[in-house]
Amino acid sequence: MLFRSQKENAVAFAFEKLNVYQKSVNFADEICSLTSSFPRGYYFLVDQLNRASLSISANIAEGNGRFTKADRKNFFIIARGSIQECVPLLELAVRRKFIELDAHQMLRNNLEEIAKMLSGLINGLEKRKS
């Protein structure tokens, strides 16, 4: 069996073309790398931050797989909630000095950008006819 790199694969799912999806996967990847250096004893923070960050892209993907506008919107709203969940988790990480202030600010900026894009996706969905 041959394996191709990610860039060689054709995009099979429409949501993979969405900029908001790509940015949210990149965000989750950054969080995964970042939390790998958190000290022992803070597994609860590592786990919750990784789950919340991955939940953003996972819910965008799942929402795009739904047939009704109401179902899609619901998953996009859940993704937006996961963005909000990341904020206090990152705040705790910076207070515990697990991440530097500049990294914290960059991650917050990424979250704000993803949140705006997701709100645009939700608003666009609301304006569309069934």
Digitized pLDDT (tens) for each residue of the chain, 130 residues in all: 444 445 555 678 999 999 999 999 999 999 999 999 999 999 999 999 999 999 999 999 999 999 999 999 999 999 999 999 999 999 999 999 999 999 999 999 999 999 999 999 999 988 876 5
Q: Does domain 37-127 have CATH number 1.20.1440.60?
A: yes
Q: What SS3 string covers 82-101?
A: HHHHHHHHHHHHHHCCCCCH
Query: Which amino acid appears at position 62 of this protein?
Result: E
pLDDT for 6 equals 53
pTM for this entry: 0.88
pLDDT for 7 equals 54
What letter does residue 99 receive in the DSSP assignment? S
